[in-house]
Structure 1
């Protein structure tokens, strides 16, 4: 059984550790510096604390029955879909799992949780959206299986990112 627990500012050091440990195994291939600069910026304590203080940014840990963290989810409430006329949306900003937790239904549980959270927060929220690297077929397939469709593709302009991996897709699921 999976427990989904809200992350609060008191949990910031645990969150920082989980972010680092779940990001690098999957995405170091994208970067010339193996993701060090990106992770340092994304996982900075000041940045994480700002996110945790913002009521629209919500982090959740997925835990097993023993309380071991298996991954995390970050959602952004009332986040309009960029470049689209979809203002009542919830963004799944981050969904990362430890490698050992993949294929065990944890990602599905987090996706279902995000959808339920959107409905609970405001019944007018009519879609979920996320961004995913186009070079990540495992995640693309996972999101497609959960009802997400590609809206558009754009290119990231991040100096440390390898040129061939800069494609990112915006995907949407109507609810």
Structure 2
């Protein structure tokens, strides 16, 4: 995987389009557009929260990271339809863990819709544990975390 790079203002439209396409299959499953489809990517880029992976100048994946008082929030991992199944999502999650350590955070956390079972299974395989479930803004969210040590576990 090409190392993620911080997104630049001129990337906003391509980032939005990638996320909308990546999450489109979930609309029928959860009954509405997932929250990342309506996010403000201009603001995310302006806040330094957006990271992109490109291959030969083509956007392949995106990651949104948000510092919180309780750890680094992995707010969004999106992989282009044609790039799925190649390990980019896993690589971005590993990058998020390394970034959390670099920032002095001892925990990464995320949430996903309870009907996104494939994602839940992946997070569990990667060492995340479920910490709770809650309805927020009409979404049935599953909260998960992974505690980090300083070495990489």
TM-score, normalised via structure 1 length: 0.75
Give the 4+ runs in structure 1 shifted more than 6 A.
none
8 A Cα contact 1:22 1:71, kept in partner: no
**Residue 5 of structure 1 pairs with residue 5 of structure 2:** yes
2:45 to 52, 58, 73: 52
Structure 1 residue 38: Cα displacement: 7.8
SS state at 2:4 partner: strand
User: Structure 1: 5+ residue runs without aligned partners?
Assistant: 81-86, 159-165
1:1-175 superposed matches below 5 A: 1-31=1-31, 34-35=32-33, 39=37, 42-43=38-39, 47-55=40-48, 58-64=49-55, 66-77=56-67, 79-80=68-69, 87=70, 89-122=71-104, 125-158=105-138, 166-175=139-148
User: Structure 2: 5+ residue runs without aligned partners?
Assistant: 149-153
Question: What is the distance in 1 between the residues matched to 2:77 and 2:34?
Answer: 19
Cα RMSD, aligned residues only: 2.1
TM-score, normalised via structure 2 length: 0.85
The higher radius of gyration belongs to 1
Question: What is the distance in 2 between the residues matched to 1:115 and 1:38?
Answer: 21
Q: How many residues align?
A: 148
* Structure with the higher fraction of residues in strand conformation: 2
